[in-house]
Structure 1
Amino acid sequence: MTDEWTDFGVAVTGVSGALIGLLFVALSINLRQIVDSPTLPGRAMVALVLLSLPLLSAMLLLVPQPDVAYGVELVVLGVVLGSWLLYLTRPGAREAGQTARARLVGTIGPVVLASASVLVGGVLLVAGHEAGLYGVVVAAIAAFLGALLTTWVLLVEILR
């Protein structure tokens, strides 16, 4: 069933790579301000790991393998990267002046949604449900939106 998702895997891999490049442009342009901040380096790392989630999910989708094996890989990816992301967004990592609402929408929401979607998608695939592939779709959208918001902050908002 994953054979029908090849085009999606190629598209997500390409978009992830392009957005990682945009993140590195933002980092290089405003490196001094980011490094001088107590919280922005961590936020940049969240964006990078967040973009790695759909990148790795899509790359693994392109590997010829049984659906159950792909499901196991998604579970491992969801646990490992999800744990790392939750650590990076732990309480106390909030930027000065950032409201709880902005933190929820821009950082925590995408992290939890992307991680949980990959994890649940993997579990469903291991259980034999094709619907698990849609977890990768939700994870990619959440990761892209969350990383884009952070990249915007690192590229534009940091200069205000």
Structure 2
Amino acid sequence: MEFAYRPELWQPLFDMVALAAVTLTGLLSVALSINLRTVVDSPAHLGRAREAFIALTVLLTVAIFVLIPEQGRVPLGIELIVLSLLVWVLSLRLQARTVRQLPQRRRRAWIGRLIGFDSATLGITLAGIGLVTGRLGGFLWLLPTILICLVWSTYNAWSLTIDAVDRHRDKSP
């Protein structure tokens, strides 16, 4: 499984990941600007927007790290570990704020859904450790991270757009 530890073999995949992340970020920005008032008025919508932007920014950052020419696996692994720690701190802080702002009856369900989202960050941590040690599967841990972040961001963007339109329609005379 030597391929799991060779950054140059993964660069074509991360070219695509970077393009997808940038494209989805642009679409999300447009959707949010159209429905901005509705999104910022709801802690759940604002939390979803933050999650989507964080996930896409994380994917873009990972792709940039992987695409650095001739970077060895150990420096890349260290970058991924540091990135994952920063993402953990930022995400948990923002998630706690969102949970505190939600009505009591919605908090448990919201926390449950975050387990899936936070597992993407765990994948980055494990990939970094794997690249540094040459064990654990290296880049293979980033595959679930990519899928989770792309699906999560797309779902959140769709939910924000549809929920915002539905809320606006419900308020119309």
- Shorter-chain TM range is 0.7 to 0.9
Q: Is the 8 A contact 2:21 2:56 kept in 1?
A: yes
Unaligned runs of 5+ in 1: none
**Corresponding position of 2:171:** none
Kindly indicate whether residue 153 of structure 2 is the aligned counterpart of residue 154 of structure 1.
Answer: no
| Matched residue count | 158
Partner residue of 1:63 out of 63, 68, 73: 68
Aligned-residue identity in percent:
28
Is 1:92 aligned to 2:100, yes or no?
A: yes
* 2:15 counterpart SS class: helix
Question: Which amino acid is 2:75 matched to?
Answer: A
Indicate how the Cα distance of structure 1 residues 137 and 52 shifts in structure 2: closer, same or farther if over 3 A, else same: same
Kept in 2, the 8 Å contact 1:13–1:59? The answer is: yes
What residue ranges of structure 2 are gaps of 5+ in the alignment?
A: 1-5, 167-173
C-alpha separation between the residues in 2 aligned to 1:109 and 1:36? 25
Structure 2 counterpart SS, 1:92: helix
RMSD: 2.1
Q: Which amino acid aligns with 1:125?
A: L
How far apart are the structure 1 equivalents of 2:16 and 2:159? Answer: 25
TM superposition score normalised by structure 2:
0.82
Structure 1 contact 57–136 (Cα < 8 Å) conserved: no
Describe the shift of the 1:145–1:99 C-alpha distance in structure 2 as closer, same or farther (beyond 3 A): farther
In the TM superposition, structure 1's runs of 4+ consecutive aligned residues that sit over 6 Å from their partners are none
Return 43-52 or 114-123, whichever deviates more: 43-52
